[in-house]
Amino acid sequence: MPSARPEEFRDEELLADVICRLIGDARHIAVGAASPIPATAALLARERANLHNLSRPYVSLLGSRAHTFFTDGSRELFDCAGQGRIDVFFLSGGQIDGEGNINLVSVGDYERPKARFPGSFGSAYLYYVVPRVILFRTEHSRRTLVPKVDFISAPGGSPDNVVRPGGPIALTTNRCLFEFDRTQRRFRLTSVHPGHSVEEVVENTGFAFDRPEQVPLTPAPGADTLRLMRNVVAPMLAEVYPEFARKIFGVTAPRSAVQA
């Protein structure tokens, strides 16, 4: 039976809190385009550290003027990553498989695809060089979490003779959290989100994964975390993701921020 799900938080807030905990003690967190939930998590990690008088990580949101370490956009993102100056990045995909491979190109035969995605951009490069890559997917289904991706935009693992400091550490979805074992190149179910069940995760996952005998429930975000997210983080987020901030948090970006 699914576990009871409190109604005082939204799925996006839960996922941001989960990702924030995965970020840990990172010094520099970079967030690419079209990633409002990871952006929420990154800003939350920074503001949480500030609240507790801990070392604040740098947060670089592509497309932001107020919250970025970069002065030269994505080109500097790649340079910093190659120099080992980015600790955490986030990737998603139209398909993700059990070996951590992601597909950002197409579904079906490459010459006659059933669907096209935006493209790989710098995903393969960043997957190799950023030490902690957190995968995320808000649709957890057998359509998105597949036995084998149709096209490998970025591989989850590499041969043993390849020097690779980077790679995936986890995958979070709207149903659960998986951790990734780089040695085994395989996911392990870490926790199931409130309102969902292990049986539901198994039914909706196309790849095999490991799991403990008793799978914990993902901790819900606490009242202090929700207040910080809604009152401090959300107004910052509105600069880059005004529609997301309005829909999830009811925050409207100042006109000057939207037009900047």
pTM: 0.93
Residues with Cβ within 8 Å of 6's Cβ and at least 6 positions away in sequence, in order, are 194, 220
pLDDT band for position 255 (cuts 50, 70, 90): low
pLDDT band for position 6 (cuts 50, 70, 90): very low
Q: What are the structure tokens assigned to 236, written together? A: 């910052």
Average the pLDDT over 141-158 and give the result.
Answer: 97
The model's pLDDT over 40-60, given as tens digits with 9 standing for 90+, comes to: 999 999 999 998 888 999 999
**Into which CATH architecture does domain 11-259 fall?**
3-Layer(aba) Sandwich (3.40)
Pairing between β-strand 176-181 and β-strand 168-173 as defined by DSSP bridges:
antiparallel
pLDDT band for position 69 (cuts 50, 70, 90): confident
Q: pLDDT value at position 104?
A: 96
* CB neighbourhood size of 198 (10 A): 15
Average the pLDDT over 209-219 and give the result.
Answer: 98
Residue 260 clears pLDDT 90, i.e. is over it = no
User: What's the DSSP call for residue 204?
Assistant: T
- In angstroms, the CA 249 to CA 245 distance is 5
Q: pLDDT value at position 208?
A: 98
